[in-house]
Chains A and B, each alone.
Chain A
Amino acid sequence: MADKIYEEIQNTQLDEIYSKPYDPELAEKLFNPQKPMENRITDIGPPHYAQFFPPEIKKNYGKWKSHEIVQPGVIKYTSETGDVVYAVRVGTPRLITSDYIREVCDIADKYCGGYVRWTTRNNIEFHVTDEEKLRALLDDLKSRKHPGGSYKFPVGGTGASVTNIVHTQGWIHCHTPAIDASGVVKSVMDELFEYFGSHKLPAQVRVALACCLNMCGAVHCSDIAILGIHRKPPLIEDDRLQYVCEIPLVVAACPLGAIKPATVEINGEKKKTVRVNKERCMFCGNCYTMCPAMPLADHEGDGIAILVGGKISNRISPPKFSKLVIPYLPNEPPRWPTVVKTVKKILETYAQHARKYERLGEWAERIGWEKFFELCEIPFTDKSIDDYRLAYDTYRTSLHFKFTSHVEPM
């Protein structure tokens, strides 16, 4: 059966449709708003993956034998057939323009036969088969800079490094964010840049950012998670709400059932509106999604929480969630200095104290979280004690703890 898949991959050719020029007028000719089903093609799914495999990847599918990171950002893969492929990994800001993609294409056409790959963490991988091309590619990548001086294609993100930050959309495109995403990521990565292009850490450190607690970015299992938080319930525009929102839908939108219909009198006129049970609000923004008359964002209330110690891999210890160690840091565009400083402090304290192979969460568990707070000089607050669902799981029910500066003998 595996042979059948191998066969299929070998037989899949690059679709000729991509070599036909783009016709900017075709869609208008085909689409008829009066008969929307006319000429409509649906449910064809994505293009077959194997047509985008470079020849050496196709040929060696399922035959890879081992790999070696020859330098930060460059992984050499060796096949049982004796073939060798170098993958060069570069970081991107994820939010990119078509001109940036065209530049990626220029590089891929020049060195990689036109093939290129993106990773789950928004890195790009270029593949070459010989060392001469590898050197030329690395030089080329290093030389490409934006007008402001930033690298377009920094090489790194392999091994015991800080790889690219997976993140959400923030103020660029989301309606419920507490913070920006791209700006915070840029600020943090500028500061941690040396750790992206080197292998100095005890293990890999996965940093992730989500701009609100809905966590489109699934940051909940990251070594360091930067999470935007709201701290004020939504505003309610009583005079406008009934004209722009459907009250039953707003009521139904609240996951905690904290919204109920209400009637108020404004200038002698009865208005239908809603009331929020503020103690129950968890600031998810679902009501604002359904009702523009219930804005959530607030410049004073919104900020950033830091969670640490999560992981995905099953290596040594099982996957685990990130834990909330800092409930609130101020929202400071454009460079978020407090967040940047805090993340760096945590990273470097970990780098200094952890053992080889030890992930951030494994280190914190070995030394005890009380030690983690002490070493990282993070004040412990009541907000780090869980009072949501399943909170009891996190209570200390043994005498296994250390005496840190937190303990004041009574």
Chain B
Amino acid sequence: MAMDKEELKRKIMEFMEKKSGAKSKVYLKDMQRAIPDASPRDIKKAANELVQEGKLEYFSTGSTVMYGIPGKGQPVEQKG
């Protein structure tokens, strides 16, 4: 059952890159829906590790947090 962590990370990045055309940021929930055969906790851990590795970044919606690929879509830092 338990998916290999690297395998899981690869699937997350695959999902994120596919998504990033229309919508560059996703909720943890969206990842969990896209990868139903992994447990929500494992996905959370893997996604947070991807952030540590610099492959993903967090994005604040105010009261919740989304994940995005650095440099894609609406920037985290708003200038001007």
Contacts and interface: CB of A to CB of B under 8 A. Distances in A.
In their complex, do chains A and B touch, with some C-beta pair under 8 Å?
yes
Interface of A: 37, 214, 244-246, 248-249, 253, 286, 289-290, 292
Given A246-B73, A249-B74, A286 B62 contact: yes
Interface string B43-80: 00000000010000000011100100000011000100
Given A246-B25, A289-B62, 4 more contacts: A214-B63, A244-B74, A246-B73, A290-B61
Q: Is the interface of B mostly helix, strand, loop or mixed?
A: loop
Interface of B: 22-25, 52, 61-63, 66, 73-74, 78
A195 B66 CA distance: 46
Nearest to B62: A289
Contacts of A253: 61
Contacts of B24: 246
What 4 A-B pairs are tightest by C-beta distance, nearest first?
A248-B23, A289-B62, A246-B74, A246-B73
Contacts of A244: 74
Contacts of A292: 78
7 contacts: A37-B52, A245-B74, A246-B25, A249-B23, A249-B25, A253-B61, A289-B62
Contacts of B73: 246
A245 B75 CA distance: 10
Q: Which residue, of B23, B52, B61, B62, has the highest number of chain A Cβ atoms within 10 A?
A: B62
Contacts of A286: 61-63
A178 B53 CA distance: 40
Contacts of B63: 214, 286
A244 B73 CA distance: 10
B22 A248 contact: yes
Nearest to A288: B62
B54 to A, nearest CB: 8
A244 B25 CA distance: 14
Contacts of B22: 248
B66 to A, nearest CB: 8
Nearest to A175: B62
Nearest to B30: A252
Contacts of A248: 22-23
B44 to A, nearest CB: 15
B31 to A, nearest CB: 14
A131 B73 CA distance: 64
A214 B25 CA distance: 23
A255 to B, nearest CB: 10
B27 to A, nearest CB: 8
Of A248, A253, A292, most buried by chain B (CB within 10 Å of CB) is A248
A246 B78 contact: no
Nearest to B59: A249
A249 B78 CA distance: 16
Contacts of A289: 61-62
B78 to A, nearest CB: 7
Contacts of A249: 23, 25, 61, 66, 74
A363 B44 CA distance: 49
A289 B66 CA distance: 13
Nearest to B54: A36
A253 B23 CA distance: 13
Given A37-B52, A292-B78, A246 B23 contact: yes
A243 to B, nearest CB: 10
